[in-house]
Amino acid sequence: MGLEKIKVLVIDDSAVVRETMSQILNSDPEIEVIGTASDPIFAVNKIQSNRPDVITLDVEMPRMDGLSFLRKVNNLANPIPVVICSSKVEGGSDNALKAMEYGAAELILKPKMGTKVFLQESKIRICDAVKAAYRSKNKRNIAGMQGSFLKEIQPKLTADAILEKGSPRMTLETTEKIVAVGASTGGTEALAVFLKMLPIDAPGMVVVQHMPEHFTKSFAARLDSICSVSVKEAEDNDSIVRGRVLIAPGNKHTLIKRSGARYYVEVKDGPLVSRHRPSVDVLFRSAARYAGKNAIGVILTGMGDDGAKGMKEMKDSGSYNIAQDEATSIVWGMPGEAVKIGAVDKILPLQEIAHSVCNHAKIMQMSFKHLSVR
């Protein structure tokens, strides 16, 4: 049986880049360039006649920009993995964040000058990015590129890999409430809307947004610049306090812990959980374990089911949970799964979630004070 190659379509408005990328990719025995296109409009016909396994895509192109095309590709019933190769995706830039938001499998930053030499010197990086993109999105068992044997897809681990389920800790109800938030596809924009609507004295929050490392710090900084609350990338042992939002760092799991009356975060390494790191399920399980009825859970737009089981554990431990509704979600995967298993108390449009969180936190505080007086 012959070698099964990864079929690639190269889309770039530069003829030099198209030629150089084709030479680089074709030099790898596991990859075959099946076509090139100078812009996404030309690419559509080629995709229809010969569907590629992976697309390499520039951002700045005539007629349709790469990010718009990326978004359309990932809205297909069977999306094609895309590697963005552009000088416009510097780490932390709006383009880079949008590329990850819209589902780019890999990002390669081209220099503004000397692109041909850079591409030639980056041969291994480019070929590895294409292979990683293919493996990350391919639904089938992947033939380790040898065709004759199959490599098993890694098992989908649960939060048990990071924190055993156990029973919720005996947590005294306090006046201070904390909020655990999970989001994925569509989440960067949804979080901006949600967090901008929070008052400066909003309950302390911890957020898991599926995002690679090196992007979460700049994402947090951008949110901090537009919100009344303080927003920062979480660091190990950071306190969860009123008026502060902690964003889980990419490629690390973030857990809520408690010492006396103080809530704080633990940032740690570990395997992928629900195929993600950071994982919403891990965050929510830790909230169930250490915060219980002192917590509010929020699950926003996102593909897949990460967070659904963890939110059910939060509900079982006494927390109040909110899910973004289908109409305002980019993808109603994570919220929909949480609703399906009975983990949600209220389903709301995105624009109403901030008010509901703050209002419920006040009700919880008033209830606590009433019980304390009695």
User: For residues 68 and 75, is the Cβ–Cβ distance under 8 A?
Assistant: no
- How many CB atoms lie under 10 A from the CB of residue 213? 12
- SS3 (DSSP) at 98: helix
User: How far is it, in rounded angstroms, from Cα 231 to Cα 177?
Assistant: 17
CA distance 158 to 274: 6
For residue 323, report the phi and psi dihedrals to the nearest 5 degrees.
Answer: -120, 140
- For 67-96, b/e burial (b = at least 16 CB within 10 A) is bebbeebbeeeeebbbbbbbbbbeeeeebb
- CA distance to 128, 161, 268, 300, per residue, from 182 (Å): 30, 19, 17, 6
Tally of CA atoms within 13 A in the half-sphere of 137 that contains its CB: 24
- Locate 80 and state its tokens: 């094609």
Q: Return the DSSP state at 148.
A: S
Answer whether 310's CB lies under 8 Å from 283's CB.
yes
What is the identity of the amino acid at 335? P
- Would you call 300 helix, strand, or coil by DSSP? coil
Q: What is the rounded distance in angstroms from the CA atom of residue 309 to the CA atom of residue 298? A: 13
Handedness of CA 98, 104, 110, 115 (dihedral sign): negative
Contact residues for 314 (Cβ-Cβ < 8 A; gap 6+)? 180, 284, 287, 288, 295, 297, 321, 343
Positions annotated as catalytic residues are: 184, 210, 306
**If DSSP codes are grouped into helix, strand and coil, which group holds residue 323?**
strand
Signed CA dihedral, 328, 332, 336, 337: sign only: negative
Residue 27 CA to residue 33 CA, distance in Å, equals 10
Calpha distance 252→267 (Å, rounded): 6
* Structure tokens belonging to residue 77: 């019933």
